[in-house]
Structures are given as structure tokens and as C-alpha cells.
Amino acid sequence: MQLIFKALTINYKTAPVEIREKLSLSESECHRFLQKASEMFALSELFVLSTCNRTEIYYSLPETNTINTTPDIPACPFSSSKPLSQKLIALLITQKGLSDSESYFPYFHSIEEHKEAVKHLFSVSMGLESQVIGDIQISNQVKKAYQHSADLNLASPFLHRLLHTVFFTNKRVAQETSFRDGAASVSYAAAEMTSELAQTVIQPKVLVIGVGEIGGDVVKNLDAADYHTVTVMNRTFEKAQEFANAQGFEVARIENLKEEVQKADVIICSVAANKPILTKKLVEEVQGIRFKYLIDLSVPRSIEPEVEQIPHVMIYNIDQIQNRTAEVIERRKSAIPHVQSIIDEAIEGFEDWSKEMIVSPTIHRLKNALEQIRKEEINRHLKNLDEKEIKKIEMITKGMMQKIIKLPVIQLKAACKRGEAETLVDVLNDLFNLEQDEKV
């Protein structure tokens, strides 16, 4: 029986961050949701993806199956909703301990059509639906989500094949297009620029001042292997310590700003303040003959522009960083048609496989039926044959069976692509009494 693949999504396009964060699931929460949903709704195939920008539920149902095992929940106002879709959303809201559940329904979008749900998963996994187009993190997030389902035996051959096709397609996109080239967010771009600048320095020392949203992301994207030391500093010391410990970096108190600026070769400043934290006076007092590269990610600026008047000091501001990302985004956008063609090709191959899966039980039963006939006929004559003759007859009859089965299999697979397999399956079932043999 054919499976119908469906999806539910709440994402940055459908809901603001204050709503998304309430419905975001940690790894342990995803695990609990998968277990509970599979138990309540007898689902054998379930996949949950939750990131800062989206929470999505993918599931499969037999084509004729309708599941209605729980009390009705209030009708939700989003279009094309089905009872199970509503119940899965209600379960998610309940698990998060939220009241006034009806108010969250409008933020969800339900994808009930099989092909549309498959294409949505491909688009999300490639980064076409990401807030930062071509996001390189989403692929690993999808892999982790798939692993959770596999660990709980909530992935059938259909979902296994679908996700592995997604991963192979992602590799093709990375290898054959420019869709993943360059840094497309401010934090990625700043980390990339830091790495480039550090290559001009022997044993480079990096100082990050401020670990808000952008500064924190920069810290996460710095690779310790590229630098002699990375030191994290923040007005709240505990927050700086948290980020530094997570990455294995050093930490310093804001009171030691002058000493840390003196030691650093590259300084990334992302501080929300009314006036600059790095002034010309401060930098002049500590600057020697080595170059210092300063990256200012703040608005208003946290580094005085006059600092660049100091010999051997160079400042890069947020506009320069964003220009780098804008160029990358344009390159990625230009690659979208190529990415779409790769996705379309992958989906076409997957759909062919899915259709063939419908007839695989019939092929298996036909092979068994013919093999049973072969064995029965051979057994009738075994007592009159020696071992050498038996081996020869085995070889001849097996070869005959393979040739006999070849044409029906080819015709069945061709009928799948034409969408006409059902008629041929019925003919084979009637000719060889396959369904009756299976019952027996």
C-alpha cells in the first residue's frame, strides 16, 4: 500500500521569533515528542526537525488510512488541515506546557499533498528555505533529526531512502554549484575575515569583546586551530565564561580591557553601547609596531573611527562585512536554478523508486510461486537422478526461471512509471493466484 508523506511547519516566514521560541524543541523534547506521537497515533514513520528558525513534523500514512484515536481538539483556522495534523500540533503545544492552544494554530502550515511535502523537505535541507540562504548548518541538523527517528525505529524503508536521497543531493549541490560558497551571515563573514587576517600574523591572538547575538555567533564560528589564543570578554563575566568554556577559549574580565587589547592582533568588537568602548586614546596607549586589525560589528559603532589614524591599525566596520555577505548572497541566488534542477532530478529518481516499491511485494510473490513450481517438479524426479544430474537440472531450471521472471519485472517497473502498475498487478495475481498462495 502506498504511503502518503505529509508535513507540518512553523517557521520564520509564518511566525515571529517570540512564537517560534515557545514551540522550539530541544533534543530531549524531540525524543519525547517522537515517542508520544508514535504511541498515540500508531505512526511507524515520524521525523521532527527543530532549529531556531523552524519546527517541522514529517510523517507518513497509508493512502487509505485515517487516524482519529484521540478526542477532538478545537478546530484550527489554517487551511487544508486534517484531523491528524491538528492532533500533532495540539500534542506539541501540550508538551511545551502552553495554554490558549488555539492561538498558536494560525502560525502552522500543513502540507497534505505528498509531492509538495517531499519537495519541501528537499528545499529545507538544501538551505533554500533558510533565513540565510544556503545555510550550511541545516544539513547537519537534518541528519541529527533523522538519527533520532532511526534510533526509535520510526523510519521505514521509505523514510530511509528519502533522507539518504536528500543527503546525496546535498553533496551534489555542494560539489556542483556555488550555492554554499562563502560566508552569508555577518557572524560567518566576521569569523572568515578574522581567519584571513590572522594568516598575516605569527601566532595570532584574537580578542572578542561582546557575546550578544552576533558576537556569540562569531565565537561559535571561530576555529581554535587557526589561532594561538582566542580570548572572550563581556560586560557580564559569567556569559563570557560560558561561551569561552564551550569553545575551549580563554576568558577575561572587562576591567582588563586595556591589557587584552595590547596583547591582541585581531579584535572583534560587538558591544551595544551609546559611546565607543575602544577609543583612539586607549589604543594609542597600547599600540606598538605590530599591526592590529579591528572588526567593528556594532551599531552604533563601538570603535572610534579615529582609531584608524594610528599607524599599523586597520578597522573593518559592519558595512564592509555586510558587503561581503551581500556578494555571497547574490552568488548563491544565481545558483538557485541549478540547485532546483538537481533537486528535481533527485525527486524524480526517488519517485520512480517509490512507485517500484508498490509492486515489489507482487514481484516477490511471483518469484516465490515460480520457485515453488520449479522445486515441486524437480522433487518428482529426484529418485531417478544422480547427484551430478541434479546439479545440472538445478542450474538449468534456475536459469529458466530467471529468464521467465525477467519480462514481467521489466513490464511492472515500466508500468509504474506510466502510473499503470495496478492493472498489471491484478493480472499477475489472477494468473498465478498469488494472493491466495500468500494467505495459505
Q: How many Å apart are CA 324 and CA 432, to the nearest integer?
A: 67
| 8 Å CB contact between 8 and 53 | no
Q: How far apart are CA 98 and CA 114, in angstroms?
A: 30
Q: Is 98 helix (H, G, I), strand (E, B) or coil?
A: coil
Q: How far is CA 66 from CA 78, 259, 268, 330, in A?
A: 19, 68, 56, 45
139-146, Cβ contacts within 8 angstroms, sequence gap of 24 or more: 139/167, 139/170, 141/49, 141/51, 142/49, 142/166, 143/167, 144/27, 145/30, 145/47, 145/48, 145/49, 145/50, 146/47
Q: Spot the catalytic one: 30, 52, 76, 416.
A: 52
* Residue 351 amino acid letter: E
Can you tell me whether residue 79 is helix, strand or coil?
coil
Beta-strand runs (E) in 84-161: 109-111
Q: In a 10 Å sphere around its CB, with 0-12 CB exposed, 13-18 middle and 19+ buried, how is residue 299 labelled? A: exposed
Distance of CA 15 to the CA centre of its chain: 19
Closest CA to 257 of 283, 238, 275: 283
**How many other CB atoms are there within 10 angstroms of residue 194's CB atom?**
27
Whether the CB-CB separation of 123 and 55 falls below 8 Å is answered with no
Helix axis angle, 318-379 relative to 421-432, nearest 10°?
Answer: 20
Residue with cell 482519529: 68
Please state, in angstroms and rounded to a whole number, the distance separating the CA atoms of residues 301 and 315.
11
Q: CB–CB of 159/47 below 8 Å?
A: yes
Do β-strands 266-269 and 292-296 pair in parallel, antiparallel, or remain unpaired? parallel
d(CA 434, CA 312): 84
* Cα–Cα distance measured from residue 152 to residue 140, given in angstroms and rounded to the nearest whole number: 19
| 52 flagged as catalytic | yes
Return the residue matching grid coordinates 560589528: 297
The catalytic residue positions are 52
